[in-house]
Amino acid sequence: DAGVTQSPTHLIKTRGQQVTLRCSPISGHKSVSWYQQVLGQGPQFIFQYYEKEERGRGNFPDRFSARQFPNYSSELNVNALLLGDSALYLCASSITMGQGIDEQFFGPGTRLTVL
**Position 33 contacts another protein (CB under 8 A):** yes
Interaction of residue 16 with another protein, rule CB under 8 A: no
Q: Which is nearer to another protein, 39 or 70 (CB)?
A: 39
- With respect to another protein, which residue has the nearer C-beta, 18 or 54? 54
Would you count residue 98 as binding another protein (CB under 8 A)?
A: yes
Residue 16: burial class (beta carbons within 10 Å; 0-12, 13-18, 19+): exposed
Among 66, 90, 112, 114, binds another protein (CB under 8 A): 90
Closest CA to 32 of 92, 79, 77, 88: 92
Is 34 within 8 Å of 66 (Cβ atoms)?
yes
